Structure 1
Amino acid sequence: MTIGRLAEITGVPASAIRFWERHGLLPAPERRGGQRRYPPEAAERIVVLRTCQQAGLTLAEIGELQQDQARREAMIRAKVTEIEQRMVDLEHAHQLMTHALRCGKQDIVGCPTFRQQMSTWRRSS
Structure 2
Amino acid sequence: MTTVSWNTKELTIGELSERSGVPASALRFYERQGLIHSRRTTGNQRRYHRTTLRVVAFIRASQTVGIPLTVIGEVLSFLPEGATPTREFWLRASECWSRELNSRIERLERMRDLFTDCIGCGCLSFEQCALVNPRDRLGEKGAGPHRLNTASPAS
Query: Normalising by structure 1, what TM-score?
Result: 0.58
Residue type at the aligned position of 1:60: T
Corresponding residue to 2:28 among 14, 18, 41: 18
1:82 maps to 100
User: CA 1:11/1:23 → structure 2, altered by over 3 Å: closer, same or farther?
Assistant: same
* Alignment-mate amino acid for residue 5 of structure 1: E
Q: Following TM superposition, by how much is the alpha carbon of 1:59 offset from its aligned partner in structure 2, in angstroms?
A: 1.4
> Matched residue pairs, number?
101
Distance in 1, Cα, partners of 2:93 & 2:44: 39
* Structure 2 equivalent of residue 42 of structure 1: 52
Alignment CA distance shift 1:74-1:47 (3 Å)? closer
Aligned-partner residue type, residue 44 of structure 2:
G
**The structure with more helix, counted as a fraction of residues:** 1
- CA drift at 1:63: 1.2
* Cα deviation, residue 68, structure 1: 4.3
Contact residue 16 and residue 48 of structure 2 kept, 8 A: yes
- Label 1:53 to 1:38 Cα distance change in 2 as closer, same or farther (>3 A): same
5+ residue gaps, structure 2: 1-10, 80-91, 110-119, 121-151
Q: Flag the structure with larger Rg.
A: 2
Unpaired runs of at least 5, structure 1: 92-108, 110-121
**Percent identity of paired positions between Structure 1 and Structure 2:** 38
Displacement of 1:27 in angstroms is 1.6
Determine the C-alpha separation between the residues in 1 that align with 2:107 and 2:40: 44
Point out which structure has higher relative CO (alpha carbons under 8 A, 6+ apart): 1
Task: Give, in angstroms, the shift of residue 9 of structure 1.
Answer: 1.0
1:67 is aligned to: 77
* C-alpha distance in structure 2 between counterparts of 1:76 and 1:47, whole Å: 18
